[in-house]
Amino acid sequence: MNPQIAKAWKIQKKLRDFVAAKALFAILRVLRRFPADRGLRIADALSRAIGPWTPRHRLAIENLQLAYPEKDAAWVEAIARANWGQMGRIAAEYVFLDEIFDFDPERPAGEGLIEVDGLERFVELRDNPRPVIFFTGHLGSFELLPICAATFGLEVTALFRQPNNRYVAREVLAARRTRGGHLVPSKAGAAWALAGKLQSGGNVGMLVDQKFGKGETTTFFGRPCRTNPLLPKLARQFDAEIYPARSIRLPGGRYRLVLEPRLDLPRTATGEIDVKASCQALNDVVERWVREHPEQWMWFHRRWQV
């Protein structure tokens, strides 16, 4: 590419990202003036109205058709539009996290916005001397999970893929550093940062449901994809325990946070963790979650590129 054209392209992309980020932050500031429940409903409605007009909607439709070839076009379209509401809520929840997370273990079940399934496991892990790796996917309000862990005295250092928009990524980092955990951007050096936490007996969290170009060849919804092998490699190196965790959106603006039983990763004949088989086991857990609530997974990225 001509150097001048390349430079101009970078400048316009930077400007476009800046404008998009400022527009997003302006919307969030307006939403912040409303009570949390109303602000989230507005974000949901706006995203459902705008999202289907973007190129990402076509990608979501394509992905849903790949995952659910037996479903008709009306079902696929309905799930994609519902997923836009989910995306709008995720964006708006950054400004309402403190109001949303009202969990109180002494409160009767069904009261408040947050309920926790697996509470006894959080309590047990608080005194567990072994390092722990929590994993989840882009489902529900997944940002609430490390906040929940912190409630039980478990600080979690989480690996995340930064948004492509650098200005949005910077804001995400700033927001999460103050809410019960720390973020490690997924880039060079991230594995060393997580390894250091585990070496010192700390806990880490990982999102495991996105494409990783140099990952293990696995399947997701029966189709080939690449999966990041970092989690099983870290588990093997530090003898860490693995726990699946997820967030489920409930009717009425409520949330269920679930900490499932420990996942024992597959092992080789010599007793070592089998990295490739473990990557597939992670995919199988996430697929189970997605099949239960397909409208709550992030369908707007290219998971099946190999």
Residues 51, 125 share a domain? no
Decide if 303 is inside a domain.
no
Tell me what the mean pLDDT of segment 28-56 comes to.
88
Q: Find residue 220's DSSP bridge partners.
A: 223
Question: 138 and 52, same structural domain?
Answer: no
Q: Which residues of 36-55 are buried (b: 16+ CB within 10 A; e: fewer)?
A: beebbbbbbebbbeebbeee
Q: How many CA atoms lie within 13 A of 60 on its CB side?
A: 26
Pair (127, 264) in one structural domain: yes
Same domain? 13 vs 156: no
For every residue of 122-142, DSSP letters joined together read HHHHHT--S-EEEEE-SBSST
Q: Which amino acid is located at 134 in the chain?
A: F
Least confident of 10-19, 70-79, 233-242: 10-19
Structural domain includes residue 98: no
User: Rounded distance, CA 249 to CA 255, Å?
Assistant: 5
Is there a single domain that holds both residue 78 and residue 156? Answer: no
* Confidence at 110, pLDDT banded by 50, 70, 90: confident
Q: What is the pTM of this model?
A: 0.88
- Percent of the chain's residues with pLDDT above 90: 48
Q: What pLDDT score was predicted for residue 129?
A: 82
In 3D space, the residue among 137, 89, 101, 114 whose CA is nearest the CA of residue 298 turns out to be 137
Range of the domain at 119: 105-296
Average pLDDT over residues 135-155: 88
Percent of the chain with pLDDT over 70: 82
Query: What does the pLDDT average to over 218-229?
Result: 95
60: CB partners within 8 A, 6+ apart: 80, 83, 299, 300
- Number of domains, the chain: 2
pLDDT digits (tens, 9 = 90+) for 170-185: 665 555 544 555 655 5
pLDDT at 52: 94
Same domain, 69 and 113: no
pLDDT exceeds cutoff 50 at 143? yes
Does some domain include residue 301?
A: no
| 67 and 148 together in one domain | no
Task: List C-alpha distances in Å: 122 to 13, 98, 144, 156.
Answer: 44, 20, 14, 12
Residues 77 and 187 grouped into a single domain: no
Average pLDDT over the chain reads 85
Residue 53 lies in a domain: yes
Same domain? For 188 and 266 the reply is yes
